[in-house]
């Protein structure tokens, strides 16, 4: 099995996949704690509209996808702040409109179905050298950005009102967070596709949060899970000749199921609730 690591396409897939998975885990944790669990799904669907625009206009699809995704991420935040629309409602509006625009444009673009399916379900084994370099470079740059604004981002995530009182520019931090998350989503599309991005954003984080660690350890554990299932999924999919994206997500679900089983057997102490429970968020905040 080790001989498959000698192939250039496999090396690129593992490198780009690992970098992207780690980034998804970190950014996804902030989104989950902000009650934006479906944020990745909404932005991914709007990025599909951006991909379609690129196809029709004859532009590299991912450039237009990045532009549309960043714009939609800002729009979600703007709708939430200005019009008092709940985050879930704003996400639902963009999710449905993004996929509708994408399907409409692609229906008149004449692009082959195989290309469309690659965007919908991922094509990590077909990633080109320049695309792998872009994924790794963006992942590294965004993780450095998270480190640079770590404290204000963390405080704003857990208690925006208190962060404002402490002099933190919470509005700017919120926009920075959603823009970085939007870029992360598009970078992840090649790994698991438009339809499964939210799984990579949410499932490793929900699994890690079950252990009730502090924020830093939760982020590290989530990243470890995401990278592990990505590497295992890519290798397993090649050996078994099955879809990499589906394999990665199923392995993530397997990790979650195993954790829930350990929780039910009390192997993992019940000191933490689910990802939606306030006591868990407060516990993570205190242990940051």
> To the nearest 5 percent, what fractions of the chain are helix, strand and coil?
80, 0, 20
Q: What is the pLDDT of residues 122-154, one digit of tens each?
A: 777 778 888 888 889 989 999 999 999 988 888
**pLDDT of residue 282 exceeding 60:** no
Count of all residues that appear for the chain in the document: 288
CATH number of the structural domain spanning residue 178:
1.10.3470.10
Which ranges in 83-169 belong to alpha helices (H)? 87-107, 113-121, 129-148, 150-158, 160-165
161 contacts: CB under 8 Å, gap ≥ 6 = none
Q: What is the pLDDT of residues 15-26, one digit of tens each?
A: 988 998 999 899
pLDDT the model gives residue 1: 57
pLDDT the model gives residue 146: 92
Mean pLDDT across 255-275: 74
Whole domain around residue 179: which residue ranges? Answer: 2-286
Mean pLDDT across 36-50: 78
Q: What is the pLDDT of residues 160-182, one digit of tens each?
A: 788 888 888 888 898 898 899 88
Q: How confident is the model at residue 112 (pLDDT cuts 50, 70, 90)?
A: low
Mean pLDDT across 219-224: 92
pLDDT the model gives residue 207: 92
**284 vs 288: CA distance, rounded Å:** 6
**174 vs 284: CA distance, rounded Å:** 20
**pLDDT of residue 2 exceeding 70:** no
More confident: 279 or 74: 74
Total of domains in the chain: 1
pLDDT the model gives residue 279: 45
pLDDT the model gives residue 105: 78
Structure tokens at 140: 């590294």
pLDDT the model gives residue 256: 93
Q: What is the mean pLDDT of the chain?
A: 80
pLDDT the model gives residue 269: 67
pLDDT the model gives residue 83: 67
More confident: 221 or 3: 221
- Token look-up 């306030």 returns 278
């Amino acid at each position: 099995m080790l001989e498959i690591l000698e192939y250039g396409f496999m090396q690129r897939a593992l490198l780009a996949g690992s970098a992207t998975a780690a980034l998804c885990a970190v950014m996804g944790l902030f989104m989950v704690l902000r009650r934006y669990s479906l944020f990745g799904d909404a932005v991914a669907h709007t990025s599909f509209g951006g991909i379609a625009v690129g196809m029709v206009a004859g532009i590299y699809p991912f450039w237009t996808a990045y532009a549309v995704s960043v714009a939609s991420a800002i729009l979600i935040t703007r709708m939430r702040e200005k019009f008092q629309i709940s985050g879930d409602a704003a996400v639902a509006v963009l999710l449905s409109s993004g996929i509708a625009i994408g399907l409409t444009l692609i229906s008149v673009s004449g692009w082959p179905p195989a290309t469309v399916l690659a965007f919908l379900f991922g094509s990590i084994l077909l990633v080109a050298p320049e695309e792998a370099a872009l994924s790794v470079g963006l992942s590294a740059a965004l993780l450095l950005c998270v480190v640079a604004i770590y404290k204000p981002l963390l405080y704003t995530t857990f208690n925006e009102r208190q962060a404002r009182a402490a002099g933190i520019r919470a509005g700017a931090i919120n926009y920075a967070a959603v823009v970085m998350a939007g870029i992360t989503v598009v970078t992840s599309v090649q790994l698991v596709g438009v339809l499964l991005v939210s799984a990579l954003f949410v499932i490793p984080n929900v699994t890690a949060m079950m252990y009730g660690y502090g924020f830093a350890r939760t982020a590290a554990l989530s990243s470890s899970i995401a990278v592990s299932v990505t590497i295992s999924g890519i290798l397993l999919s090649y050996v078994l000749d099955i879809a990499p994206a589906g394999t990665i997500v199923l392995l993530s679900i397997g990790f979650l199921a195993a954790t829930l089983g350990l929780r039910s057997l009390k192997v993992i102490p019940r000191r933490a609730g689910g990802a939606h429970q306030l006591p868990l968020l407060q516990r993570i905040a205190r242990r940051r």
